Structure 1
Amino acid sequence: MDVISEAIGSVRAGRANGRRINESGAWGIRFPGFAGIGFHVVLHGRGWLVAEGIEPVALRPGDVVVAPNGAEHGLCHAPARLKDLPAVTTTAEPWDPRPADFAFLCGAYRLDRGQIHPFLDAMPNIIVVSPDYEGHPELRSLVGLLDDDVAEARPGNGVTRSALVDLMLVHVLRQWQGTADWAAVTDPAIAAALRAIHGRPQHPWTVQRLAKVAGMSRTPFSSRFTALVGKPPITYLTHWRLAYGARLLRQTEDPLAAIARRVGYSTEFAFAGAFRREYGVAPGRFRNHPDPIPRQPRAAPHRSRPAPARP
């Protein structure tokens, strides 16, 4: 199961956008939340990433910031409060070739309709990747191609833009070290069961029902699933449901009963009990307190290994 291809393919229903932004002096930009996936590549200078519920993250040339599910965030010359930053303009602006203190590329797929793929929706709101440009020189070339593509409007931009945004996202997600184990699962039977779990977490799944989806008998399915994914089917199902529920708590104002139903629990009390066992806090406290929860690493951005070389 190639979940990265599946996830990126799902956002192609949206519009691919790209631009270069140059900033100098005291500057700050807020990128409002949207339905889709977006990224920034730092070309020159040093700045800061800010987002709700996390400490500011220092950025260096070559770093890539990804918002897998379009979460609101900001970039600025120094740590600041996200709400104090002005929203970025959405109109296309010509690239200013003059030297700047900080330069970065933006790329995004914006979805007019539909929902974010479950894989992207389950990722942290914001991740920071410091790619290995030495080991993956093709990424350095790709950054240069995207920079050239957004420099001016030319015939064929509609095709090249989407292709380059696709490639950037694929390369960055490959290098992100926080992807779930099931992203690499190629066994078609187990991949089918995983798609069922992620696509319909509210369904009353049992091992027998998942085995039927996989086209296997119960015992061999359970053994193969555990060996490939690292957890028994129902343990993995519970983990996924609660991770999805945690994201809904932080990103929506839906009542607890509605969230419980969306993630497969018959009552809010059953969901609350399972959530407390998994995260160590009640759902209400998790929703109302922005401080990271010790047993919930997704509350903070993930930075991959530092890059030995920069573009």
Structure 2
Amino acid sequence: MQSHDTLSELLKPMRLSSVFYSRWTVRGPWNVQGDDDECAVMHYSLRNGCYVTIDGRPPVPVPEGTLAVFPYGTAHTLGDGTDCPATPLQELLPHRRAGTATSVRIGDEGPATELICASLRYGVAGEPPLYRALPSVIVLNQTLLSQEPLLLSTLQSLAPETERAGPGTQLVTLRAFEMVFVLALRVALESLSDDSSALQALHHPGISRALAAIYGEFQEPWTLNSLARTSGMSRSAFAKTFRKLIGEGPAQHLTRRRIREAERLLTDTSTPLNEIPELIGYQSTVGFHLAFRKSVGEPPGSYRQRRRAAVSS
């Protein structure tokens, strides 16, 4: 593993908490429309194939043995490529409770398409700033999947595992889908073309080192000069390239990473409010409160109260 394992640092704050998965058997003309969701979504084609369509884009084929991943749950249509009316997913699966599984059957005539679909829930407060710059959909065909034997074997083991019901099944499937998610992103970063700024940034030797530092050591007193040294680039070249690929300067990106960590601590832990500034790299409590309010729109204490109220309601 490289010392600047940017993918690990990118995903480390995102704690996968639960998965809802379903086994689909569909025949005849079919289309299913899913709305935006605050989770990662994946579809694995076991038999025959299907198409995924994001509004305004051409349909993307998902042949047999292909995995489609929507890292942040972008709304999309899943179907057979025909123009038949789409059924809202909410009508087919009105109760998608985390930690459960079900099966879906559509139609009774024609060749069967079989799929495993999953919604992977993670703490959105831990979502790193660069995450939503990843492609909205990543499609990995059999050739790409075979480049990562562990990913392929895990996918192949999911089919029988999703049909079992026994001790530990819920935990096993959660960890299996979590592994599929991480390995799929790794294959994407290694194999896909640099169609997005995020992939370009993660492939760039210098910028990826700086990102690994920002994500993994955000509590350190980073400056533009020290991040440039970490990247192995001159100060001016680093600042220019970083802004071009990330869309903002290193200081702003570091602030967003620190505020994301503060959101996670306020949401998921009972860490005292006065300890959080130092934990995320702020020398001044006042500076932290000002930065948090500017980014989130409310003070840290109010944010914690609101999040706790939302969880208990």
The question of a shared fold, defined as TM-score above 0.5 by the shorter chain, is answered with yes
Contact 2:6–2:208 under 8 Å retained in 1: no
Q: What letter is aligned with 1:240? A: I
Q: Which SS does the other structure have where 2:166 is aligned?
A: coil
2:113 to 84, 91, 102: 102
CA shift for structure 1 position 121:
1.3
**In structure 2, distance between residues paired with 1:174 and 1:192:** 15
Alignment of 1:91-170 (within 5 A): 91=96, 92-94=101-103, 101-111=112-122, 114=125, 116-131=127-142, 132-170=144-182
Q: Looking at both structures, which has the greater relative contact order when contacts are Cα pairs under 8 Å and sequence separation is at least 6?
A: 1
Taking structure 2 as the reference length, the TM-score comes to 0.60
Match of 1:190 in 2: 210
What aligned pairs does 1:240-255 form with structure 2 within 5 A after superposition? 240-241=246-247
Q: 1:142 to 1:117 in 2, by over 3 A?
A: same
Aligned-partner residue type, residue 169 of structure 1: F
The runs of 4+ residues in structure 1 deviating greater than 4 Å are 183-189
Aligned residue in 2 for 1:40? 43
User: Would the aligned equivalents of 2:77 and 2:86 in 1 still touch at CA under 8 Å?
Assistant: no
- Please report how far the alpha carbon of residue 101 of structure 1 lies from its aligned counterpart in structure 2 after TM superposition: 1.9
Separation in 2 of the partners of 1:116 and 1:221? 22
**Paired position in structure 2 for 1:74:** 77
Aligned-partner SS, 1:33: coil
Residue identity in the other structure for 2:183: H
Cα displacement (A) at 1:192: 5.3
1:51 match? 54
Aligned to 1:273: none
The corresponding residue for 2:5 is 2
Whether the 8 Å contact between 2:14 and 2:124 is mirrored in structure 1 is: no
The two structures have a TM-score, normalised by structure 1, of 0.60
Q: Residue 11 and residue 74 in structure 1: after superposition, are their counterparts in 2 closer, same or farther (change >3 A)?
A: farther
Partner of 2:88: 86
Task: Give the counterpart letter for 1:163 in structure 2.
Answer: R
Deviations 1:82-101 (A, max 9, x none): x84422414443477x9952
Residues 141, 67 of structure 1: alpha-carbon distance in 2 compared, 3 angstrom cutoff:
same
Q: Cα 1:169–1:48, aligned 2, differ >3 Å: closer, same or farther?
A: same
* Structure 2 unaligned spans of 5+: 253-293, 296-313
Give, in whole Å, the separation in 2 of the partners of 1:221 and 1:12. 27
Residues matched between the structures, number = 231
The Cα of 1:79 is off from its aligned counterpart by: 4.2
Which is helix-richer, 1 or 2?
Answer: 2
Alignment match, 2:64:
61
Identity of aligned residues (%): 18
Once superposed, what is the RMSD of the aligned Cα atoms?
4.1
Q: Residues 49 and 76 of structure 1 are in contact (CA less than 8 Å); yes or no, is this contact kept in structure 2?
A: yes
Once the 2 structures are TM-superposed, how far is the Cα of residue 26 of structure 1 from its aligned partner? 1.1
Alignment CA distance shift 1:38-1:147 (3 Å): same
Find the aligned partners of 2:159 and 2:27 in 1 and give their Cα distance: 19
Give 1:269's aligned residue: none
1:213 to partner: Cα distance: 0.9
Once residues 187 and 126 of structure 1 are traced to their aligned partners in structure 2, the CA distance between those partners, rounded to angstroms, is 23
Residue-by-residue CA offset, 1:57-110 (whole Å, 9 max, x unaligned)? 1221121111111111121112448x84422414443477x9952111122322
- What displacement does 1:189 show? 7.1
Could you say if the C-alpha distance between residues 36 and 142 of structure 1 is closer, same or farther in structure 2, counting changes exceeding 3 Å?
same
Measure how far apart 1:44 and its partner are: 0.9
